[in-house]
Amino acid sequence: MHGRPFIDGLSAWGEPTQLRGPGVLSDPLLNKGTAFTTQERDALGLRGLLPPRVFTLEEQVQRSLTAVRSKQDVIEKYIYLTSLQNRNEVLFYRLVIDHIEELVPIIYTPTVGEACLHYGSIYRRPRGLFISLNERGRIAEILRLWPHGGVRLIVVTDGERILGLGDLGALGMGIPVGKLSLYTACAGVHPYYTLPITLDVGTDNALLQTGPAYIGIRERRLRGAAYDDFIAEFVSGVKSVFPKALLQWEDFGNTNAFRLLRNYRHRLPSFNDDIQGTAAVALAGVIGALRLTGSTLARQRLLFLGAGEAGTGIADLYVAAARAEGLGEAEARRHCWFVDSKGLVVQGRGEPLAEHKLPYAHEHPFIESLAEAVKVLKPTALIGVSGMPATFTREIVAAMAALNERPIIFALSNPTSKAECTADQAYSWSGGRAIFASGSPFPPVEFEGRRFLPGQGNNIYIFPGVGLGVLVSEAREITEQMFLAAANTLAGLVQPEDLAVGRVYPPLSNIREVSLRIAAAVAAAAHDAGLAARARPPNLVEDIRGRMFEPVYREYA
């Protein structure tokens, strides 16, 4: 296993001499399965515990790929890959990296959404920590039960807003498990340092509470001061047990997400991927689109469908970027408009607005529908983050095309079933002129003799690189400037051949190089701001490249 450990002197895979026989085979970081050589089998007491033929890693990859492809159902593919990850992590990550465009949609979006819905039925083996209300008062003790010391990267959810699927409670564990798999596959963060956590604070999903396969506590979701106390104990435990850990908040409901980010972002290195990661990937897509339109950020008018974490996060980062182009903050905010479930977000609409919407509640007559808002506001970009499928109708897309020579249409809601429109609809309804991106992948589209490759505006392009950059610099805080650096770096990696087929993101096959470059930009921002605990190396890119986990087998004898 290549890749220097982030913590000097700490073995990232344990010492094989401490385990023998079944103990070696049961540790996914040590197990090589049929790839153990005859010498290793003798040295580690594995004779007779494995079939006699010795396979190479490449042969194991091909055999595993054949097995995945033989499964007819995506959940069966997901279960197979999860099982492989739980028994042999090197083989799992070698397989995923070598076939990343094919397998990422299975281990993460869109399949992970369906996997979460069935998580109680497909649960096989513990992976990560479930910390429930039953553990109040002893959370630090529970964290110390994790077998790997020196955890550096935690993804945590309370399961309230899983993708566009809503409150799934403890079933949301599929999200932190999947995200951390992407950290390793896409950015080379060694799996030894990662820890997925689900905070089980109950669920308001009545079907889950009474369901026979539900694996969480059967209580209504904790709210108010008691919830905040539980989170405070959790954060305190993380700081005590894993003092160098980065904490990523994932899929928390709007009522908690903004407050938690605000309360804790300065207390430990932490960020909310739904707010900040989505913002960076969407902004990068807009910047890439402007290379096709020939315009500038300062001349855009963005209309969002959905005014939650993702939408206002994108708007906030757009404002920061537009200010760098010379706009004042108030003026930049006037370039962002929101339609939520009640209509256009404006001042004096008649009901109290959530705090995160207030900066974008402009003085304007109320408009009830998205279609009317498009006609009146004349946006250059339409960005869907609503979780409401089929809401970008033919009428709306055609109106955007009438207003703009190259309308920007981003249907970013996940999973695929929640997308505001499909790639085929965006291209056909706009006469092939739309610049389209989506949160989940869509296949290529043929339209009037042209072949379009829809870009996937998925956070996979951002959070792995951001996390890697924070880890290698040991940044004490994760700032807006780091996400702005990530967005600009991602946009700069889009090549002319990508733009020629309508893609405003690099191909997913380049994701490890993308993550490396973003990590270097984030680390540079940390060093420039005086937030890095590590000394700045002479060459950030090469230093980080040398620390990235590469899934190859270690020789034990």
Task: Note whether 231 and 367 are same-domain residues.
Answer: no
Contact assessment for residue 97 and residue 181, using Cβ atoms and an 8 Å cutoff:
no
Task: Note whether 238 and 343 are same-domain residues.
Answer: no
Long-range contacts of 258-261 (CB under 8 A, 24+ apart): 258/309, 258/355, 258/356, 260/231
Domain membership of residue 166 (yes or no) is: yes
DSSP label at residue 202:
-
pTM, to two decimals:
0.94
How many domains in the chain? 2
Domain membership of residue 356 (yes or no) is: yes
Task: Note whether 248 and 335 are same-domain residues.
Answer: no
Domain membership of residue 51 (yes or no) is: no
What's residue 4's pLDDT? 43
Task: Note whether 136 and 170 are same-domain residues.
Answer: yes
Contact assessment for residue 465 and residue 518, using Cβ atoms and an 8 Å cutoff:
yes
- In the listed set 268, 288, 314, which residue is the last one of a domain according to the structure? 268
Q: Which among 400, 397, 445 has a CA at the least distance from the CA of 421?
A: 397
What's residue 169's pLDDT? 96
Task: Note whether 208 and 164 are same-domain residues.
Answer: yes
Residues 6+ apart with CB under 8 A from 43: 556, 557
The H-or-E segment that residue 328 falls in is none
Task: Note whether 247 and 303 are same-domain residues.
Answer: no
Residues of the chain with pLDDT under 70: 1-18, 557
Domain membership of residue 307 (yes or no) is: yes
Which CATH number do you get for residue 188? 3.40.50.10380
- In the listed set 461, 489, 520, which residue is the last one of a domain according to the structure? 461
For residues 468 and 216, give the distance between their C-alpha atoms in angstroms, rounded to a whole number. Answer: 32
Task: Note whether 307 and 410 are same-domain residues.
Answer: yes
Residues 6+ apart with CB under 8 A from 18: none
Domain membership of residue 10 (yes or no) is: no
Pinpoint the alpha helices (H) of 350-433.
370-377, 394-403, 423-429
Question: Would you state the structure tokens that stand for residue 83, as one six-digit string?
Answer: 């099982």
- For the segment 515-545, what is each residue's pLDDT rounded down to a tens digit? 999 999 999 999 999 999 999 999 999 999 9
What's residue 557's pLDDT? 65
CB-count exposure of residue 55 (10 Å: 0-12, 13-18, 19+): middle
Task: Note whether 201 and 300 are same-domain residues.
Answer: no
What's residue 15's pLDDT? 42
Task: Note whether 179 and 78 are same-domain residues.
Answer: yes
Domain membership of residue 46 (yes or no) is: no
Domain membership of residue 477 (yes or no) is: no
Domain membership of residue 3 (yes or no) is: no
Which CATH number do you get for residue 372? 3.40.50.720
Task: Note whether 282 and 259 are same-domain residues.
Answer: no
What's residue 13's pLDDT? 42
Provide the residue range defining the domain that includes 71.
Answer: 56-268
Q: Give me the active site residues, please.
A: 108, 179
Task: Note whether 209 and 86 are same-domain residues.
Answer: yes
Task: Note whether 378 and 304 are same-domain residues.
Answer: yes
CB-count exposure of residue 248 (10 Å: 0-12, 13-18, 19+): buried
- In the listed set 438, 461, 484, which residue is the last one of a domain according to the structure? 461
